[in-house]
Amino acid sequence: MSIARVLLVLGLIGLGARWWTEYREERALAAVTSPNGFLPVPMPADTPQNTVLIFAPLNCPREHAQRARELAKKLTELGIQNIQTSHYPSVAFQPTEEKLASFKRLNVVMTGEIPIALVNGMGKANPSLDELVSEYKRTQ
């Protein structure tokens, strides 16, 4: 019985530690999330200012790629410069605490539902047109 109790206590401690870590990460993300739900992320090198990057598979007939094309079309109609792409170029960087946090936020965004939109250092998975236009205007 004694070993079972020890294992139970260790299991509860492990679950508590995991919950606390996830809770802290969620709070950290909530603290930096914009009113439109965008997170601060690093932009690919040489991305023009005030240009929306839309990440989705190019020439793909699936629904998420069609949403990306429609989003790009509507942004163009509104006069907002945008680029559709299917890759984020890798970059070497000195791993400071802030850079690592920034790339962790990028990972959260890039592993979300397609299309992914990045604009002026902010990113969100599957944003609506209104959210994206609002964030674009907010970050100009």
Provide the pLDDT confidence category of residue 117 given band limits of 50, 70 and 90: very high
Q: 21 and 40 share a domain?
A: no
Other Cβ atoms within 10 Å of 21 Cβ, number: 10
pTM: 0.75
Residue 23 sits in the same domain as residue 67: no
**Co-location of 60 and 74 in the same domain:** yes
- The total number of structural domains in the chain stands at 2
Whether residues 86 and 60 share a domain: the answer is: yes
Asked whether the predicted pLDDT for residue 77 surpasses 70, the reply is yes
Q: What distances in angstroms separate CA 19 from CA 4, 40, 100, 107, one per listed residue?
A: 22, 24, 22, 20
User: Which has the minimum average pLDDT: 24-33, 40-49, 70-79?
Assistant: 24-33
Same domain for 105 and 92?
A: yes
Give me 72's structure tokens. Answer: 């790009």
Domain that holds residue 27: 1-32
**Rounded-to-integer distance, Cα 92 and Cα 67, Å:** 32
Same domain assignment for residues 27 and 91: no
Region of poorest pLDDT, from 55-64, 76-85, 106-115: 55-64
Shared domain for 120 and 104, answered yes or no, is yes
- Same domain for 68 and 134, yes or no, is yes
Residue 77 shares a structural domain with residue 110: yes
